[in-house]
Structure 1
Amino acid sequence: MQKEILLITNYFPPEKGAASNRMFSLAEGLAAAAYKVKVVCPLPNYPNGNVFKEYKGKTSVSEKTSFGEITRLWIWPSNSANKFIRLLSMLSFSFSLVLFFLFSKTPKKIFIQYSPVFVGFTAVFLGKLFSKKIILNISDLWPLAGLEMEILNKGWYYSLLLKMERFCYKHADLIVGQSQEILQYVSDFEKEKTTFLYRNIPNFKVSIPKEKLASDEIKIVYAGLLGVAQGIFYLCQQISLPKNVSLHIYGAGPEAEKIKLLQKKQVFFYGELERDSLHKELYSYDIAFIPLLKRIYGSVPSKIFEYTRLGLPVLYFAGGEGGNLVLKEALGWNIPVNDLSALQQFINTVSNEIIGGFPSKIVQERSLLAFDFKKQLEGFITSIEKI
Structure 2
Amino acid sequence: MAEDLCIITNYFPPETGAASNRIFQLAKGLQRHNFKVTVVTPLPNYPKGSVFENYKGTFKHTSEESNMTIHRLWIYASNSKNKLRRLLAMLSYSFSLVWFFMWHDIPKKVIVQSPPLLVAFTCMLFLNRKNRTLILNVSDLWPIAGLELGAFKKNFSYRLLERIERFNYSRANLILGQSHEILAHVGTIVPQKQTFLYRNYPDFKPPAIDTFVPDGKIKLVYAGLLGVAQGIYKLCEALDYTAIEFHIYGAGAEQKKIETFISENPKLPITYHGEVTRKQLHQALIGYDVTLVPLLKHIYGSVPSKLFEYAYLGLPTLYFGGGEGEKLVLDHQLGWVAEAGNYSHLNQVLSRIDPSSLHLENRLKLQQLALNCFDFNKQLTAFAKLI
Which category describes the TM-score, using the shorter chain as reference length?
over 0.9
Matched with 1:120 is 120
What SS class does the counterpart of residue 315 from structure 1 fall into? strand
Inter-partner Cα distance in structure 1 for 2:114 and 2:318: 28
Inter-partner Cα distance in structure 2 for 1:284 and 1:167: 47
Inter-partner Cα distance in structure 2 for 1:86 and 1:37: 29
Matched with 1:39 is 39
Tell me, yes or no, if the aligned pair for 1:31 and 1:37 is still in contact at 8 Å.
yes
Matched with 1:108 is 108
Tell me, yes or no, if the aligned pair for 2:214 and 2:289 is still in contact at 8 Å.
no
Matched with 2:328 is 325
Match status 1:308 vs 2:308: no
Kindly state the Cα deviation for residue 213 of structure 1 after the two structures are TM-superposed. Answer: 2.6
Match status 1:254 vs 2:279: no
Inter-partner Cα distance in structure 2 for 1:126 and 1:82: 28
Tell me, yes or no, if the aligned pair for 2:211 and 2:360 is still in contact at 8 Å.
no
Inter-partner Cα distance in structure 1 for 2:214 and 2:346: 24
Tell me, yes or no, if the aligned pair for 2:207 and 2:283 is still in contact at 8 Å.
no
What SS class does the counterpart of residue 301 from structure 2 fall into? coil
Tell me, yes or no, if the aligned pair for 1:313 and 1:358 is still in contact at 8 Å.
no
Kindly state the Cα deviation for residue 130 of structure 1 after the two structures are TM-superposed. Answer: 8.1
Kindly state the Cα deviation for residue 132 of structure 1 after the two structures are TM-superposed. Answer: 2.4
* Distance 1:338-1:357 versus aligned 2 partners, 3 A rule: farther
- Paired residue type of 1:241: Y
After the TM superposition, which residues 178-197 of structure 1 pair with which residues of structure 2 at under 5 Å, given as runs?
Answer: 178-197=178-197
Inter-partner Cα distance in structure 1 for 2:261 and 2:362: 32
Matched with 2:216 is 216
Query: Which consecutive residues of structure 2, in runs of 5 or more, have no partner in the other structure?
Result: none
Matched with 2:166 is 166
Match status 1:352 vs 2:355: yes
Kindly state the Cα deviation for residue 86 of structure 1 after the two structures are TM-superposed. Answer: 0.4
Inter-partner Cα distance in structure 2 for 1:382 and 1:368: 22
* Percentage identity across paired residues of the two chains: 49
What SS class does the counterpart of residue 128 from structure 1 fall into? coil
- Paired residue type of 1:256: Q
Matched with 1:368 is 371
* Distance 1:118-1:212 versus aligned 2 partners, 3 A rule: same
Tell me, yes or no, if the aligned pair for 1:176 and 1:197 is still in contact at 8 Å.
yes
Tell me, yes or no, if the aligned pair for 1:218 and 1:351 is still in contact at 8 Å.
no
Tell me, yes or no, if the aligned pair for 1:134 and 1:172 is still in contact at 8 Å.
yes
- Paired residue type of 2:252: G
Tell me, yes or no, if the aligned pair for 1:220 and 1:288 is still in contact at 8 Å.
yes
Q: Which moved more, 1:143-152 or 1:351-360?
A: 351-360
Tell me, yes or no, if the aligned pair for 2:12 and 2:19 is still in contact at 8 Å.
yes
Matched with 2:199 is 199
After the TM superposition, which residues 233-244 of structure 1 pair with which residues of structure 2 at under 5 Å, given as runs?
Answer: 233-242=233-242, 244=243
Match status 1:153 vs 2:156: no
Kindly state the Cα deviation for residue 340 of structure 1 after the two structures are TM-superposed. Answer: 1.5
Q: Which moved more, 1:261-270 or 1:97-106?
A: 261-270
What SS class does the counterpart of residue 49 from structure 1 fall into? coil
Kindly state the Cα deviation for residue 305 of structure 1 after the two structures are TM-superposed. Answer: 1.0
* Distance 1:29-1:38 versus aligned 2 partners, 3 A rule: same
Kindly state the Cα deviation for residue 187 of structure 1 after the two structures are TM-superposed. Answer: 0.4
Tell me, yes or no, if the aligned pair for 1:331 and 1:366 is still in contact at 8 Å.
no
Match status 1:272 vs 2:275: yes
Q: Compute the TM-score of the two structures, normalised by the length of structure 2.
A: 0.96
Tell me, yes or no, if the aligned pair for 1:12 and 1:41 is still in contact at 8 Å.
yes
Q: CA RMSD in A?
A: 1.4
What SS class does the counterpart of residue 359 from structure 1 fall into? helix
Kindly state the Cα deviation for residue 215 of structure 1 after the two structures are TM-superposed. Answer: 1.3
What SS class does the counterpart of residue 79 from structure 1 fall into? coil
What SS class does the counterpart of residue 134 from structure 2 fall into? strand
Inter-partner Cα distance in structure 2 for 1:16 and 1:3: 28
Q: Deviations over 1:130-189 (max 9, x none)?
A: 852100000010000000000111111111111100000011000000111100100011
Match status 1:289 vs 2:292: yes
Q: Deviations over 1:96-116 (max 9, x none)?
A: 000111110110011000000
Tell me, yes or no, if the aligned pair for 1:196 and 1:383 is still in contact at 8 Å.
no
Inter-partner Cα distance in structure 1 for 2:67 and 2:371: 24
Matched with 1:245 is 244
Match status 1:19 vs 2:26: no
Matched with 2:383 is 380
What SS class does the counterpart of residue 189 from structure 2 fall into? coil
Inter-partner Cα distance in structure 2 for 1:125 and 1:358: 53
Tell me, yes or no, if the aligned pair for 2:319 and 2:336 is still in contact at 8 Å.
yes
Kindly state the Cα deviation for residue 217 of structure 1 after the two structures are TM-superposed. Answer: 2.1
Match status 1:337 vs 2:365: no
Kindly state the Cα deviation for residue 15 of structure 1 after the two structures are TM-superposed. Answer: 0.5
Q: Compute the TM-score of the two structures, normalised by the length of structure 1.
A: 0.96
Displaced runs of 4+ in structure 1, greater than 6 A? none
Inter-partner Cα distance in structure 2 for 1:132 and 1:72: 23
